[in-house]
Amino acid sequence: MPASVSTRLLLLVGDSLPFYRLSHVSRMACSRNSVRFLSRISSDREPLSLASLRFKSEFETAKKSRIDKVEKQSPTVEVTKSKVKVVRSKGIKAVEVSKSLEIDSTLFAAKSFTELGIPPLLLERLEREGFMVPTDVQAAAIPTLLKNHDAVIQSYTGSGKTLAYLLPILSKVGPLKNKSPNGENESGKRTEIEAVIVAPSRELGMQIVREFERLLGPSDKKMVQQLVGGANRSRQEEALKKNKPPIVVGTPGRIAEISASGKLHTHGCRFLVLDEIDELLSFNFRESMHRILEHVGNKSVADSRGPKGPLAIQADRQTIMVSATVPFSVIRAAKSWGHDPLLVQARSVMPLDSVTASGPVSLSGPTSISSSNPNMPAPGAKQSLPPALKHYYCVTKLQHKVDTLRRCVHALDAKSVIAFMNHSRQLKDAVFKLEARGMKAAELHGDLGKLGRSTTLKKFKNGEVRVLVTNELSARGLDVAECDLVINLDLPTDSIHYAHRAGRTGRLGRKGTVVTICEEPEVFVVKKLQKQLGVPIPACEFTEGKLLIPTSEASESVFVQLGTFLAMLLDDQAILYKRRVFSGVRPIHIKHGSDTAKLEDRKSCKS
């Protein structure tokens, strides 16, 4: 090891920090059942579970007569007596939670989809496709949506928000829905569009279509029609005419276009889903969204001169808005477009009216929703990151960024990597450099045609391409389960963009790492992101094929995690956590990939 490195007291970081349990603290957001499910996915170690925290988790249907009752009680998590103590055993420092968090988990402890009111045919399909246990957000959203509430669904990336709205729709629309009281399945009787799902990109739109098709099966897959831009429009119109699909999924521009041409009749539509709603609110989509909101589910001609303007039409449809990040603009829009909409999160369902711009509404609620103060955490960003993700940054010179990326991929032995850059013209260069060094890479951006985009994506998904170099196009919604590393070759513009990029890895409880490669003058931006997101982002280096962290950074990172842990255990109003940055701590060595880590010379740690 070079002298410069050895004198800097480095920490070798592996898959498990000594505070492994701390790194998973936010799994508290999961119900016991989904934790059980998640632990099946990463079964190589035991995660911190609600059971270990002694959460109450029986499914007590009888005790709850009406969902609305629950919905009105805003904070659903109650901290009664919490004691955290640091214990030492076998040289490992660990945190033991001795007593006792109470959670009103009736809505969020479903052991199976059966308990959520899904019809039998759909249950069969779910089972066939391997969906056995609902995730937390699904357990909260499905009963809420089945009761026809308008809703904003917010939970972290990769937590299964698509099925959270797709299942209630398929419970009421198409061939898998509940039979009518006289025993007849009414499928096929209606000829109108019953559900419109809008997504901001073609890739995401097509991914949603595939999720529908997977459950509908080959014989009924024509029940859903994709209307995404870049594809042949007249073919889409013909398919609409011929198949009369009850469900359409598309991008705003194409849906608005076909609707304006009179070939898409959505006035009788019952569901309007706006996926990645905060993105759909952007200026680019304004006109198309205006048309969609004005027409979908509005049987009578809308009064566009009403006091709230044309977009405030109270339609007959159920409006469902979805994103991992919910800034206040979304809350405002949802209040204006929906009938008493609810905010559905993994552990809470509350009226949107209880969400204000000025302050916290609940422990898990949108405490970070703020419309003005730039120093406040970015709206909704905190709850948007998968809890098991690890974040690092690495300082290098501009001309060495791609080489650092390559070393990072080797050091972490990453199999499937998404690297983000801000400008599409730089992507080709990065790909060229990687390929020249023998690393299989490909670029993905909006300037490629539809075919080029889908071919590249397919190659990435099936492992032919190891590094996908892309821009913001791929930051939202893209679901590649195998992606184990996200790299920011350029800094994201803010914490919301960071959260969506980061969320391409660590999907559904899997392991994932995010590394931001930046230049020295950009480090303050990373520090700011760390503060806004409430996650530790320590500096790292890549030496001798290993990811190394300077000791001071490691200590800070451990304490950011401890702070997050305490803040989650105890209401942040009740405890004022003071972060201590250690000084003079002797080196800590943790073997990469080992399950148990050694915290050497603990005596020198002053706590």
Ligand X SMILES: Nc1ncnc2c1ncn2[C@@H]1O[C@H](COP(=O)(O)OP(=O)(O)OP(=O)(O)O)[C@@H](O)[C@H]1O
**Interface residues toward ligand X, by CB under 6 A:** 131, 133-135, 138, 157-163, 324, 477, 479, 481, 503, 507-508
Closest to ligand X by CB, 325 vs 557, is 325
CB of 587 to ligand X, least distance (A): 37
Check residue 156 and report its DSSP letter: -
Closest to ligand X by CB, 275 vs 556, is 275
Closest to ligand X by CB, 136 vs 541, is 136
- Gap between the Cα atoms of 484 and 465, Å rounded: 13
CB of 149 to ligand X, least distance (A): 19
Closest to ligand X by CB, 142 vs 313, is 142
CB of 135 to ligand X, least distance (A): 5
- Gap between the Cα atoms of 151 and 342, Å rounded: 5
Closest to ligand X by CB, 347 vs 407, is 347
Check residue 585 and report its DSSP letter: P
CB of 118 to ligand X, least distance (A): 11
Closest to ligand X by CB, 49 vs 157, is 157
- Gap between the Cα atoms of 342 and 346, Å rounded: 13
| CB within 8 Å of 22: residues ≥ 6 apart | 95, 558, 561, 562, 565
Cβ atoms of 408 and 418 within 8 Å: the answer is no
CB of 52 to ligand X, least distance (A): 22
Structure tokens at 18: 């000594």
| CB within 8 Å of 241: residues ≥ 6 apart | 263
Closest to ligand X by CB, 451 vs 481, is 481
CB of 202 to ligand X, least distance (A): 15
Closest to ligand X by CB, 407 vs 453, is 453
Closest to ligand X by CB, 160 vs 341, is 160
Q: Report, in this order, helix, strand and coil percent for the chain, each rounded to 5.
A: 40, 15, 45
Closest to ligand X by CB, 138 vs 251, is 138
Position 410: which residue type?
H
**Paired sense of beta strands 151-154 and 247-250, if any:** unpaired
Cβ atoms of 200 and 283 within 8 Å: the answer is no
Closest to ligand X by CB, 119 vs 587, is 119
In this structure, the dihedral spanned by the alpha carbons of residues 483, 487, 489 and 495, taken in order and rounded to 10 degrees, is: 110
CB of 545 to ligand X, least distance (A): 31
Alpha helices per DSSP H over 244-327? 252-260, 277-280, 286-295
E-strand stretches of 142-251: 151-154, 195-198, 224-227, 247-250
Cβ atoms of 194 and 467 within 8 Å: the answer is no
Closest to ligand X by CB, 265 vs 458, is 458
CB of 164 to ligand X, least distance (A): 7
- Gap between the Cα atoms of 607 and 605, Å rounded: 6
> Which residue in this structure is represented by tokens 């977009």?
311
**Paired sense of beta strands 349-351 and 342-344, if any:** antiparallel
Structure tokens at 602: 């603990």
CB of 160 to ligand X, least distance (A): 3
CB of 344 to ligand X, least distance (A): 12
- Cβ–Cβ contacts within 10 Å for residue 482, how many? 13
CB of 42 to ligand X, least distance (A): 13
Distances (CA, A) of 519 to 7, 395, 424, 526, 556: 23, 5, 20, 10, 21
Cβ atoms of 198 and 281 within 8 Å: the answer is no
- Can you tell me whether residue 344 is helix, strand or coil? strand
CB of 503 to ligand X, least distance (A): 5
Structure tokens at 210: 């595939």
Check residue 115 and report its DSSP letter: G
